[in-house]
Structure 1
Amino acid sequence: MMLQSMTGFARNEGTTGRYRWAWEFRSVNGKGLDIRARLPQGLEHLETEVRRLVTERLTRGNLQAGLSLTVSENRVEAVLNRDALDAVLRLRDELGPGLIDPAPLRLDTLLSIRGLVDLREATDDEAAIAARDGDIVAGLERAVAALVDMRASEGDALRRVLEDHITRIEELALRIEADPSRQPDEIGRRLENQLAAILDNTSGLDRDRLHSEIALLATKADLREEIDRLKAHVIAARELLATGGPIGRKLDFLAQEFNRESNTICSKSNAVAVTSAGIELKVVIDQFREQVQNLE
Structure 2
Amino acid sequence: MARPIGIHLSYWQREWTDDLLPLIGLAKDAGFDGAEFPLLMPNELDFVSLRQALDDHGMRATCGTGLNPSVDITSPDKSVRDAGMAFLRACLAGTAVLGSPGLGGVTYVPWGQFYHDDFAARRSQCIHSLREVGKMAADLGVLLFLEVLNRFEGNLLNTVEQGLALLAEVDHPAIKLHLDTFHMHIEEDNMATAIRAAGDQLGHFHCVANNRKPPGMGQIDWTAVKSALDDINYQGWLVMESFLQPNCEVGDALFIWRQLHDKLNADAQAGADFMRSRVA
TM-score, normalized by length of structure 1? 0.21
- Structure number with the bigger relative contact order (C-alpha 8 A, sep ≥ 6) is 1
Q: Greater CA radius of gyration, 1 or 2? A: 1
Higher relative helix content: 1
